[in-house]
């Protein structure tokens, strides 16, 4: 369970985030939507202890993220390309992350084998450095790396952007299997309303740093979101 | 249209990373630029008189002429290695309503003004003025100068034609070596013929116009070649190097730090700038030669200590001072992974220690200069391993400048801040001072012992120091993430 308790972030006088209280139960697939500058990435960065909140705290499975680092062992994430190491090949990158997450070579190979379909033959064995891959393929590598080492929480910022249609569909399948057993919590942000409504059972809308909607996904959700954003 | 391009050039220049720097670095860079310009000018102005004085019975112009051919061949080699046609610049224009022919002319025309073509003028122009002043015929000297400028331009365009061809480079380089060799062993002296050519231009400057013909022909060849290749998959393409994975599993024996060590080895080998740092550290090995061979320094033991530190410290200094900025591009990712920060720092430390040890091993030939010198190098190595490695790790926690690994290595000052200048004091001046004081006032081997002792002491206290350093890094984590996230 992730508890967000009165978290706010101010830069000078400008407040970019102010979330009074938000609880994400274990096993939930949680979607975050909002226009540019709504505070989605800021919230994820605070959740990963990459920036400090001005007030409040986030507790990730009983661990307050800015006081202990134990959450790192069960939290996988992919925020943007800066999470990749450009001068490594995808294989070497997976090895690196895998080793940090306590996997051995055999574990890593079995793990990667599940994603053959998702990679679509464009990632492994291509003799290319990550920096030379296309945006979409970089994203594929980053997303898969975020799931290494059996994390209990997976955080993905805009995972659907830059992916080709086939891969988008495959990613949705992967996310659905992740949350199937209600053990892994998945947090996703997206600009694509159709994708989040399909994948997430709960959707929170941020606007200028504030939670403006908190919806349990149903048939009507997509319509509701579309009408909200059609200003 | 031209004015549009010129405006863009202006902006490109003044908004480039060169100028977006702290004032201190700007001052230093301007200083170096001025230094080089002044030295060239000095050689240009003084060269004539110097030659006249050294070789009173020979004509300075003829002497210069004799070696001009070498200068141009050498120039071509340097250009081949360093000068590339800036084709990528026109990518944004390809979809605008501008004729491709114009774009090609623009790229080629622009290359005429590249620094490679301008630099030589700082020598040739003042040299010509002196010549005229000394009573050489004005028309002859101007024709000669004109011809030289044209040849420089011809070199410029010739380079672009052969640049993609390794064979051409091999031919030019071996030609240069061959001529030097033949001349050295008195078989065949190319300088005679080279000299005659340039002497002839001076005698009848009208032939300088032949240079125009040469430039026009080469320019047109370039134009024809490029005009048909203005496509994203041809001339205007970014080269992708095939990834080569070496087996680094031997590093696995290092246990917990192995992933980082492997990563660092790849970092060093696969990025231009780090590769330059790595290769330069072997050049530093020869630094001692400058000091140990000169009589003047024998009486200044502190300066010898300075050189000794450099002999084995090249890698530690150059790589260590930018820790952890080398990892700035993916620093966020590292900070969201579950590992002890200590491991990350430890891997950097091991790398510096191993490299210093290798360099120390390679410095054994310095025994030639006597046991004293080698003892000094040994003390320097111990100090580098014990004190400097740890100190640089600590100093690294003050680094706040991102380094873009994709940028080139040479003369790249990205990541440089005041830290890099301040650390010199404890790294170099401190051991020099210790050595100097003890050597002067206590005498004997006390200087050596003291410097080495500091190193050994630090090595023994490594764990305490590491704890302290680790805390400092963790404390500054957010500031670093924020700073490294900003575009350099």
| Domain range list for chain B | 2-227, 251-485
Name the average pLDDT for chain B. 85
Tokens of B73: 């061949």
Please spell the DSSP secondary structure of B408-456, one letter per residue. Answer: --TT--TT--HHHHHTHIIIIIHHHHHHHHHHHHT-TTHHHHHHHHHHH
Distance CA A210, CA A57 (A): 16
The better pLDDT of the pair B163, B451 is held by: B451
State residue B19's pLDDT score.
Answer: 60
Shortest Cα–Cα distance, B90 to chain A (Å) = 21
Looking at B81-217, which runs of residues are DSSP E strands? Answer: none
Choose, out of A72, A86, A95, the residue to mutate when testing the contact with B (most B CBs < 10 Å): A86
Between chains, do B240 and A132 touch, taking CB under 8 Å as contact?
yes
Give B138-164 pLDDT, tens digit per residue: 999 999 999 999 999 999 999 888 877
ipTM of the complex: 0.82
Distance CA A194, CA A166 (A): 15
Chain B residue whose CA is closest to A83 = B333
Give A58-72 pLDDT, tens digit per residue: 999 999 998 888 898
Query: Contact A194/A48 with Cβ under 8 angstroms?
Result: no
State residue B74's pLDDT score.
Answer: 86
Query: Look-up: residue for tokens 């302290």?
Result: B468
Shortest Cα–Cα distance, B319 to chain A (Å) = 17
Q: What are phi and psi of A71, to 5 degrees?
A: -65, -25
Distance CA A34, CA A193 (A): 10
Query: Contact A81/A140 with Cβ under 8 angstroms?
Result: no
Name the average pLDDT for chain A. 92
Q: What is the DSSP letter of B403?
A: -
Confidence of residue A141 (pLDDT cuts 50, 70, 90): very high
Q: How many CB atoms lie within 10 A of CB A12?
A: 5
Enumerate domains of chain A plus CATH numbers: 2-83+151-229 (3.40.50.300)
Q: Which of A50, A70, A72 sits opposite B332 (nearest CB)?
A: A50
Distance CA B106, CA B84 (A): 15
State residue B411's pLDDT score.
Answer: 58
Query: Contact B386/B461 with Cβ under 8 angstroms?
Result: no
Residues 6+ apart with CB under 8 A from B57: none
Give A4-25 pLDDT, tens digit per residue: 999 999 988 889 999 999 999 9
Element (H, E) at B161: helix B138-162
In B, which residues are within 8 Å of A95 by CB distance? 259
Give B84-129 pLDDT, tens digit per residue: 777 777 777 877 778 888 888 988 988 898 888 888 888 889 999 9
In A, which residues are within 8 Å of B331 by CB distance? 82
State residue B21's pLDDT score.
Answer: 58
Q: Tell whether B267 lies on the interface with A, counting CB pairs under 8 A.
A: yes
In B, which residues are within 8 Å of A99 by CB distance? 258-259
State residue B410's pLDDT score.
Answer: 56
Q: Which residues of A15-35 are buried (b: 16+ CB within 10 A; e: fewer)?
A: ebbbbeebebeebbbbbbbbe
Give B22-65 pLDDT, tens digit per residue: 666 677 778 887 887 888 888 888 888 888 888 888 888 888 88
């Amino acid at each position: 369970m992730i508890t967000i308790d009165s978290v706010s972030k101010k830069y000078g006088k400008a407040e970019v985030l102010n979330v009074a209280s938000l609880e994400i139960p274990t096993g939930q697939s949680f979607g975050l939507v909002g226009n540019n500058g709504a505070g989605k990435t800021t919230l994820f960065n605070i959740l990963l202890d990459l920036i400090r909140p001005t007030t409040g705290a986030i507790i990730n499975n009983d661990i307050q993220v800015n006081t202990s680092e134990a959450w790192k062992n069960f939290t996988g994430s992919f925020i943007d390309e800066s999470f990749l190491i450009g001068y490594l090949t995808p294989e070497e990158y997976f090895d690196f992350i895998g080793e940090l997450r306590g996997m051995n070579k055999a574990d890593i190979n079995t793990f990667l084998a599940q994603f053959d379909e998702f990679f679509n033959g464009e990632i492994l064995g291509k003799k290319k450095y990550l920096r030379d891959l296309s945006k979409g393929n970089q994203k594929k590598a980053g997303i898969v790396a975020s799931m290494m080492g059996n994390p209990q929480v997976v955080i993905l910022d805009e995972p659907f952007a830059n992916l080709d249609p086939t891969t988008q569909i495959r990613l949705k399948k992967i996310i659905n299997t992740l949350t199937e057993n209600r053990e892994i919590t998945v947090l996703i942000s997206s600009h694509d309303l159709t994708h989040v409504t399909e994948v997430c059972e709960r959707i929170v809308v941020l606007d200028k740093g504030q939670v403006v909607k908190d919806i349990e996904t149903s048939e009507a959700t997509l319509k509701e979101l579309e009408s909200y954003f059609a200003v | 249209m031209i004015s549009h391009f010129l405006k863009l050039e202006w902006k490109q220049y003044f908004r480039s990373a060169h100028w977006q720097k702290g004032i201190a670095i700007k001052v230093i860079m301007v200083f170096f630029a001025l230094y080089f310009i002044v030295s060239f000018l000095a050689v240009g102005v003084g060269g004539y008189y110097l030659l006249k004085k050294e070789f009173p019975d020979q004509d300075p112009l003829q002497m210069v002429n004799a070696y001009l051919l070498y200068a141009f061949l050498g120039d071509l080699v340097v250009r081949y290695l360093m000068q590339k046609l800036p084709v990528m610049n026109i990518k944004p224009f390809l979809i605008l309503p501008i004729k491709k022919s114009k774009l090609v002319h623009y790229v080629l025309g622009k290359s005429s003004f590249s620094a490679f073509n301008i630099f030589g003028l700082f020598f040739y122009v003042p040299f010509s003025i002196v010549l005229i002043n000394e009573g050489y015929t004005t028309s002859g000297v101007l024709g000669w100068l004109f011809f030289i400028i044209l040849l420089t331009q011809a070199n410029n365009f010739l380079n672009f034609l052969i640049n993609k061809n390794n064979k051409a480079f091999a031919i030019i380089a071996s030609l240069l070596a061959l001529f030097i060799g033949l001349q050295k062993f008195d078989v065949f002296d190319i300088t005679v013929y080279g000299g005659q050519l340039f002497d002839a231009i001076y005698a009848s400057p009208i032939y300088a116009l032949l240079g125009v013909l040469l430039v026009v022909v080469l320019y047109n060849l370039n134009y024809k070649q490029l005009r048909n290749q203005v496509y994203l998959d041809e001339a205007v393409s970014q080269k992708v190097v095939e990834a080569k994975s070496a087996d680094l599993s031997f590093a696995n024996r290092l246990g917990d730090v192995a992933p980082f060590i492997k990563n660092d080895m790849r970092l060093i080998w696969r990025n231009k700038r780090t590769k330059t740092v790595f290769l330069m550290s072997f050049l530093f090995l020869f630094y001692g030669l400058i000091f140990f061979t000169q009589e003047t320094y024998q009486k200044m033991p502190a300066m010898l200590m300075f050189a000794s530190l450099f002999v084995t410290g090249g890698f530690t200094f150059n790589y260590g001072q930018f820790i952890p900025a080398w990892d700035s591009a993916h620093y966020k990712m590292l900070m969201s992974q579950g590992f002890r920060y200590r491991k990350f720092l430890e891997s950097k430390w091991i790398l510096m220690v191993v490299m210093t040890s290798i360099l120390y091993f390679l410095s054994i030939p310095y025994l030639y200069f006597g046991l004293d010198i080698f003892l000094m190098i040994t003390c320097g190595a111990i100090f580098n391993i014990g004190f400097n490695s740890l100190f640089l790790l600590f100093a690294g926690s003050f680094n706040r400048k991102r380094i873009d690994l994709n940028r080139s290595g040479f003369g790249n000052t990205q990541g440089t801040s005041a830290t890099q200048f301040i650390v010199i004091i404890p790294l170099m001046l401190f051991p020099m001072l210790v050595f100097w004081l003890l050597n002067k006032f206590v005498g004997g081997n006390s200087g050596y012992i003291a410097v080495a002792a500091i190193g050994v002491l630090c090595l023994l206290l490594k764990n305490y120091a590491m704890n302290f350093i680790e805390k400092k890094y963790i404390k500054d984590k957010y500031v670093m993430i924020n700073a490294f996230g900003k575009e350099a």
